[in-house]
Amino acid sequence: MSGKMKVVLKDKPGVGAVLAERDIPKIGPNDVLVKVLATSICGTDYHIYSWDEWSQKRIKPPRVMGHEFAGEVVEVGSNVKSVKVGDIVSAETHIVCGVCPLCTTGNAHICVNTKILGVDTDGTFAEYVAIPESNAWVNDKDVPVELLSIQEPLGNAVHTVLAGEIIGKSIAVVGCGPIGLMAVAVAKAASASKVIAIEVNEYRIELAKKMGADVVINPIKENVVDRVLEETSGYGVDVVAEMSGNVMAIQQAFKYIKLGGRMSLLGIPSKNVELDLANDIIFKGITIQGIVGRRMYNTWHQVKGLLASGNLNLEPIITHKLPLEEFEKGMELMKSGNCGKVVLYPNK
């Protein structure tokens, strides 16, 4: 396919991005070309847009932004076997080498040679995107494209919550940005006994309730450690799903996690976190897990199963739907925190 397409382009270093025109991507023999039907804004996209310290070190403009999406396959490479024209696909956004020791031992999600869609390669804030066949995930066409477009961040929530036992366990979800909100829904769908959400933004506090949180704690208004202990008969929560990256929130979580509990960390702190290793980790006998992306492709199968089950309440998370041209409005919503997932439509 040839021609031009509109894209959201990080055209140069600095704050912002532009709506631009680019050639429709050419695909190689192992690639597929996808018409983007829906693409959602991630916190990473906002980091790139706002040109924070991480972006300054990682992004090399010009770069088409975006990585969470669902779309229709319109062209396939000559070697492609598992995907066909007309399929509705999303993508595992970590493009891995497949040959390193991690990839060949079932740990491709932490491949040392990972490239990320929309970060290291041109992304999905565009009318069309080219992706490797091996990264294409064929979707159920009966699921709305808005929900299909958020499977990648949903996979982060699923990986975090289901990285250990959860049935009948109490869990604290720390930070109710979009992935934290999805973690609340995943924990409820997976039969956690009590889901405690911890969040400061009033808009997202209300969303957490809609997503199924049994208890919502605002650290500005309450002592988080005391309240969590109160809600758990003084023992603390079995599981902490840390999504905030906030230093104080992380330190507090180590105070209210139960002896022998599990701490699964997805949030990225902006600075080093000081911990009491003896009293908060060693003597408590807890397990600490770093969560990176989604397990390839175990997590995707879990996501598909949860969507098919009908037990996962995701409808409240889609709070805003915008044409691609209004991406700046979407970025401002992300900045304010007064949103769940913001979905852009490049082909409307």
294 appears as a binding residue in the annotation: no
287 is catalytic: no
Q: How far apart are CA 45 and CA 239, in angstroms?
A: 29
Q: Position 324: which residue type? A: L
Total count of residues recorded for the chain: 348
Q: How far apart are CA 228 and CA 198, in angstroms?
A: 10
Q: How far apart are CA 276 and CA 255, in angstroms?
A: 10
Longest dimension (CA), the chain: 64
Contact between residue 203 and residue 338 where contact means Cβ atoms under 8 Å apart: yes
268 appears as a binding residue in the annotation: yes
Among 39, 44, 93, 160, which one carries the catalytic annotation?
44
* Tokens encoding 36: 């983007």
Contact between residue 84 and residue 75 where contact means Cβ atoms under 8 Å apart: no
Contact between residue 49 and residue 10 where contact means Cβ atoms under 8 Å apart: yes
C-alpha closest to that of 205 among 231, 184, 234: 184
Catalogue the long-range contacts made by 189-195 (C-beta closer than 8 Å, 24 or more residues apart): 189/306, 189/309, 189/311, 189/312, 189/313, 190/161, 190/162, 190/166, 191/166, 191/167, 192/166, 192/167, 192/168, 192/239, 193/168, 193/169, 194/170, 194/231, 194/232, 194/237, 195/170, 195/171
262 appears as a binding residue in the annotation: no
111 appears as a binding residue in the annotation: yes
100 appears as a binding residue in the annotation: yes
* Tokens encoding 42: 């991630």
332 appears as a binding residue in the annotation: no
Q: Position 284: which residue type? A: K
Distance of CA 323 to the CA centre of its chain: 21
159 is catalytic: no
Distance of CA 161 to the CA centre of its chain: 13
339 appears as a binding residue in the annotation: no
Among 39, 47, 93, 320, which one carries the catalytic annotation?
47
Q: What is the CA radius of gyration of the chain?
A: 20
204 appears as a binding residue in the annotation: yes
67 appears as a binding residue in the annotation: yes
Active site residues: 44, 47
Which residues define the annotated binding site for NAD(+)? 179, 199, 204, 266-268
Binding-site residue ranges for Zn(2+) = 42, 67-68, 97, 100, 103, 111
Residues making up the annotated binding site are 42, 67-68, 97, 100, 103, 111, 179, 199, 204, 266-268
